[in-house]
Structure 1
C-alpha cells in the first residue's frame, strides 16, 4: 500500500491522481491518501483483499478512526453510476480535500471520463474567487460537474459573484458531506444552480443516493431499529485490520449505517444519526428534524441541534444558530412545537457567528455542546 500525502495544492492532487490511476488498472499498489499536515500516526495494518485500490481513513466521528478498504470495482461502479445519473461524462472540478472519499471520487470520475480534474488550490482554505479562477480554465464548451459541501455552496451564494456565475453553468453540483438545509437548497435552485443532494459515506464509495433516489444497482433498506442499510456494488470490502468492526457493520453485501431513515415510495429521507437522538423526559427527538424546521425560519443561515444533560428531564434539546435580525426565537419555537411537538422545542439557545465544523464540513457536535456548556456555566 502506498501512502500519498496531499496538501490541497494542484501538484499534490496530480500525484494522487497518478497513483489512483495505477491502482484502478492494477499496475500499482493500493493508495492511502492522507492530509500532509496530519499528525504522524502509525498506518493501518492488515492484509488487503484482492482488488483493493484505496484505503480511506474516516473522521472518527463515533470513535477511533477506521480505515475503509475500497476496491477498484466499487469505485468504478460508483463513478459509472454517477455518470449515468447525471446524463453522461464530463469534466470535473475539485474544490474538496482530496484525502476524503468525496475528493477521491471526483478524481476517479474524472479519470474514467478521460481527463484529470481541474483542481482548486485550497491550501489556504476554500475561496469563491479561487473557484471562479479554476472553472475559467475549463474549455469554453465543456460539460462539467463539481462536488461541494454545504458550507462551500453557502459561501458562493453569499460572496461569489464570478463563482456563482460559473456555478450556474455547471451541469450538476453534487452537495454532500453534511446535511444540506432545505432552505439553502432552495436558495441555490432559485439562483439557477443545479444542485443534486447526495447521501453516502466512505463505506459506500461516497454518495450513492442522489436526491433521495439510489444510484443504479444500489439498494436501500431500513432495519428494525430504523437504521439505513445500503447495498450494491459500491459497498466497501470492510475495515483494514479490524475484523470485528467489519463483521458488525458489513453483512450480506450491505453496510449498516449509523443513520436513521425513512422510505416513502422508494425515496429515502435521512432523519439523522441514531447516536444523536435526544431522549428528553422519555420522548425521543431527532436533532436533524429540529434543524430542518429551524433552518427554514427567516434570518437563519446555520443551525446545529444537540442534546445536553438536564437534572429534571435527563436531557433537553439545545440549538446553536447563525442568524440575523430577522430571526425571531418565539416564532421558531412555535414552528418547532407545531411540526414536531413540545418535546422537540429547544430549551437552550445560543447565537454564534458560525457553526463549528470538523473534517470535510460536518457540524462538530461535541464542540457545540462545549459552547453550550460554557455559556450555561457563565450565566
Structure 2
C-alpha cells in the first residue's frame, strides 16, 4: 500500500480471475478506504436512478438467431477515424488515485492493452500529459468540466491538444453536484491532489469536498460553449449528459461532433430516467448525424449488445473498471475489459451477429417482466 495524506492506496498489480463484474464491488470494498469507496460507489440521494440504470436493461431482450452461419464474431469498430478492437470504452471517472496509487496511468495502460479508448476526467489524479504518456500512441479523450475561469479551461484544452487526445468530452449534466449521501456520511474530503487543479489552486488540490470543487465549475453552460471549444481545439466535441432528443439536436446544432447519452451513473439527478430507457428516442432523433456514446449501468456483455442495438456506437463504463484497478492495477483493468468483451462475444455469436454493424441492426424485443 502507498500512503498519501493518511489515505491508503492499493499498489496491486495482477491479472484477475473474474466470474462477473458485479461481484467485483464487494471485493474492492475490502481494500479501498471507506471514504474513497463511498465516493466511487455512491449515487445521488437514495440511489434510485443508479439502480434503475442497470435494471432498465431488462426492459429489452435480445432475439437469438439460429442458422446464422457465422463464427468468431469481430468486436472491432471505429469512431472519428479511430480504429478500436472493442466497442467498450473507459468512461471519464474522477480521482482514480482513490482506487490505486497509479490512478489514471494504470487505467490507461489496461485500456490500451485491449485496444480500447481511454477518457480522462478534469478531476483526475494524474495530469493529462502523464496519462497520455502511460500508453503511448493509444487513443484517448479528455473530459472537460467547464470552469467559470476560461483561462483555466483554455489551459486544460491546450494541454489536451498537446498530449494528442483525439476528442473533447464536454460534460453538461453536472453544473452542481448531486446530493451524495455517502460523501456526507463519510465527511469525505479528497485526500489526494488533483493534478489538473494544482496549478490553479493556492494549495495542493487536496482536502476539498466535492461541493467546494463544483463551486468553481460553470453553472451556466450553453450552445455557445460547445462552439467555442470546438473552434478553439479543432477536435471533435462530444457533449456528455444528454437525456432527451431535444438536447441532442440542440447540441448537434451547436457544433457537437458526438452525443454522449448518460445520467452520470445516477450521481447527479436522482429520480431521472435510466439512461438505457432514453437511448432509443435519442438515437432516432440523431438519425446517424453524429456518433453516440452511451454509459450508465453497464455491467454485462449483454448490456453492451443491447446498448449498441438500441442506437449507441460506443458503450462506456467506469465503476467496474475502478474496482478492477483497485484489485489488480493495470492488469486488473485489462481483466475487466477482457471479461465484458468475452461475455459480449458470446452474445454476438448467439444473436447471429458477426460484426458491430450487425449488432447495430439486431432486433430487440420488449416484454414487461415484473421480476
TM norm structure 1: 0.32
Greater per-residue strand proportion: 1
Greater per-residue helix proportion: 2
Larger Rg over CA atoms: 1
Question: Relative contact order: is structure 1 or structure 2 higher (C-alpha 8 Å, sep ≥ 6)?
Answer: 2
TM norm structure 2: 0.33
